[in-house]
Amino acid sequence: MPGNVSLGCLLGQLNRAMSFDVASTSWATSVGSWSKGVTAVSAYFNSTDTHSSAQGARIEAYSNNLTRSVRVSHRTADDYNGRKFPDVSTHDVATTVWARIGTAAFSGFVAFGVWSTFNTLIPVPFSLALQYIQYDTVISSIGASTALVATIFEMQPGTGSYALYADDVITRVDPITLFPDWTLEQSRALIRAGHDATGGYNRETIWSSFGTWKLPLRFLSDSHAALINWWWKNSFTLALTLDTSDADTTAIVRIVNDQQPIGARSRPYDNLWNGTLMLEAIDKGSLVY
């Protein structure tokens, strides 16, 4: 089904994982994962209240007017600085988070987003619904020389106290919107092994499955064609949103084309390109790994 497909380069250390699963209850910073801000914070991991992964985070704010912040930095050489496209002067950074508020009354506000040298943080008033809700934010025009980029949660309490439950945090740099042809294919492949015994007996074991996508693309601009080919050349992990209007269509993928995916011109244009993008989920389909 054609439509708006979003694709961006995944940020986060530890093989690009940004979930709370990759940290510990002591908020270990030595692994480049989630850490507390400089102000007082009451925050801990809660493995019994999550969205889809093994661990989530509960961040509590009280009525003493102290800001609580939790963040993960992308300033390491192989993260933001190594994954932003070198051929452009400004970069978009987008964050998607699944979260909910657990409280009897709403007395402050929660902000989350991407923090850079511009100190830009987008406030989001979370609803009181008990289910996890997807929230998106985008910061544009981050300069190519900006070294400090971080995904951050910040809680600024009012007169009462409340807790934020968060899980499945996906941050990506240089996201682009694609418009695949009607022949787009979405499927799953099995993780399995089998053999035939000498007596004719066949044994087959199936462990799981993973998502696959085939995206025929036409009329790509020079910059989008170069960006996709650069992602493919570097084997970067990407965040794919197959339908930008559906919260359940985000997957973590890699480009698996044997050859450069974009390389043919789109007739009759000499500055537009086409090709077929082959994508595979890196595991059985969870948002974090």
Q: At residue 28, does pLDDT exceed 70?
A: no
Percent over 90 (pLDDT), the chain: 20
Q: What confidence tens digit (pLDDT) does each residue in 1-24 have?
A: 446 889 999 988 655 556 666 554
| Coil/strand/helix, residue 188 | strand
- Check residue 220 and give its pLDDT: 93
Q: What confidence tens digit (pLDDT) does each residue in 91-141 have?
A: 888 888 888 776 555 455 677 778 776 566 776 666 656 677 777 887 777
Lowest pLDDT segment from 137-141, 259-263, 264-268: 137-141
- Check residue 210 and give its pLDDT: 77
Domains of the chain, each with CATH number or no CATH: 13-173 (2.60.120.260), 178-281 (no CATH)
- Check residue 61 and give its pLDDT: 63
Q: At residue 272, does pLDDT exceed 70?
A: yes
79, 31 Cβ separation under 8 angstroms: no
**166: which residues sit within 8 A by CB, 6+ positions away?**
20, 56, 57, 59, 97, 98, 99, 112, 153
Confidence tier at 224 by pLDDT (50, 70, 90): very high
Q: What's the chain's Rg over C-alpha atoms?
A: 21
**75: which residues sit within 8 A by CB, 6+ positions away?**
81, 147, 148, 149, 150
Cα separation of the two ends of the chain: 27
Q: What confidence tens digit (pLDDT) does each residue in 33-84 have?
A: 677 665 544 555 555 677 777 777 777 666 555 566 777 778 776 788 889 9
Averaged pLDDT for residues 240-256: 78
Determine if the peptide bond prior to 268 is cis (ω within 30°).
yes
H helix or E strand, kind and range, residue 101: strand 90-102
- Check residue 29 and give its pLDDT: 47
The DSSP line for 211-279 is EEEEEEEEEE-HHHHHHHHHHHHHT--EEEES-TT-TT-EEEEEE--SS-SEEEE-TT-SS-EEEEEEE
Q: What confidence tens digit (pLDDT) does each residue in 277-289 have?
A: 999 988 655 666 5
pTM, full prediction:
0.83
Q: At residue 197, does pLDDT exceed 70?
A: yes
